[in-house]
Amino acid sequence: MGNGKGSETLGSTDDKHKMTLFKDDRAEDWGAIVVSVLIVAVVIVMTI
């Protein structure tokens, strides 16, 4: 349990039981940052 890095890994090694599509919560955190950057970029382009 919880061997992955990050804030909240339900650390099942079995993909079927994990609560995220990412490897662990640290990866999910980075994913959220990337998605945020994309959203901000799209919004800026749309409102220029």
* Binding site residues, another protein, CB under 8 A: 1-3, 5-23, 25-33, 35-36, 39-40, 43-44, 46-47
Q: How far is the CB of 24 from another protein (least distance, A)?
A: 10
Q: How far is the CB of 11 from another protein (least distance, A)?
A: 6
Report which DSSP code applies to 15: G
- Sequence length of the chain is 48
What is each CA distance from 28 to 15, 39, 44, 47, in whole angstroms?
A: 14, 16, 24, 28
Q: How far is the CB of 8 from another protein (least distance, A)?
A: 3
